[in-house]
């Protein structure tokens, strides 16, 4: 970094801090704050152009017992594997974020519920080979609160 220009250095440091504030340190994907920003933008676009937007809330099963039996390193590795498999199966425009210890969201623009079901089934197929289990809930616009609706589906 060029420290001869203090304004540039300060600007770059601020950008890095903002990015760190939006990113999960373990997985490298968006955290809750980054997700909420993306959700607001994606919902505004979907509403403006009357396009579908679907949210999948994903809960990784058994993380607590994995941590207890094999340690947090094993739990962290399972979380990273889950994220890698979701990333492998998502499209470029799709957003993935970690919103809790074992909770993730997948935001799918231009996607209806049926297409989202196909996406989550592909992910589950890959996860099966790694012995990682998930539960999920799906919600689609025009829902006023996609996250809450997906959470209610997850808890059923």
- In this predicted structure, what is the pLDDT of residue 25? 92
* Token output for 106: 């997948």
What percent of the chain has a predicted confidence (pLDDT) above 70?
87
- The alpha-carbon radius of gyration of the chain (Å, integer) is 17
Q: What is the pLDDT of residues 52-94, one digit of tens each?
A: 999 999 999 999 999 999 999 999 999 999 999 999 999 999 9
φ, ψ dihedrals at 134, nearest 5°: -135, 160
φ, ψ dihedrals at 33, nearest 5°: -60, -45
User: Residues 121, 105: contact at Cβ < 8 Å?
Assistant: no
> Sign (positive/negative) of CA torsion 44, 45, 51, 53?
negative
Bond from prior residue into 142 cis (ω within 30 degrees of 0): yes
User: Residues 114, 60: contact at Cβ < 8 Å?
Assistant: no
User: Residues 138, 54: contact at Cβ < 8 Å?
Assistant: yes
- In this predicted structure, what is the pLDDT of residue 142? 87
Distance of CA 117 to CAs 5, 34, 114, Å?
51, 24, 5
Tell whether the model's pLDDT for residue 12 goes beyond 90. no
Task: For residue 19, name the pLDDT band (cuts at 50, 70, 90).
Answer: low
Give the chain's mean pLDDT: 89
pLDDT, average across residues 120-130: 93
Q: Where are the domains of the chain?
A: 25-155
- We find that the CATH architecture of domain 25-155 is 2-Layer Sandwich (3.30)
Report the SS3 class of residue 125: helix
User: Residues 104, 147: contact at Cβ < 8 Å?
Assistant: no
Tell whether the model's pLDDT for residue 13 goes beyond 70. no
Of residues 136 and 6, which shows the higher confidence score?
136
- In this predicted structure, what is the pLDDT of residue 2? 47
Tell whether the model's pLDDT for residue 116 goes beyond 90. yes
């Amino acid at each position: 970094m060029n420290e001869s220009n203090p304004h540039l250095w300060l600007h770059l440091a601020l950008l890095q801090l903002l990015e760190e504030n939006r990113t999960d340190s373990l997985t490298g994907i968006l955290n809750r704050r980054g997700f909420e920003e993306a959700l607001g933008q994606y919902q505004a676009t979907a509403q403006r152009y009357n396009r579908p937007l679907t949210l999948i809330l994903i809960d990784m099963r058994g993380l607590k017992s994995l941590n207890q039996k094999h340690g947090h390193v094993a739990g962290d590795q399972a979380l990273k594997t889950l994220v890698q498999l979701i990333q492998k199966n998502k499209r470029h425009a799709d957003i993935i974020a970690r919103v809790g210890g074992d909770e993730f969201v997948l935001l799918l623009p231009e996607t209806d519920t049926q297409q989202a079901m196909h996406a989550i089934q592909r992910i589950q197929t890959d996860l099966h080979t790694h012995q990682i289990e998930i539960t999920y809930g799906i919600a689609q616009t025009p829902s006023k609160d996609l996250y809450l609706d997906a959470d209610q589906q997850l808890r059923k």
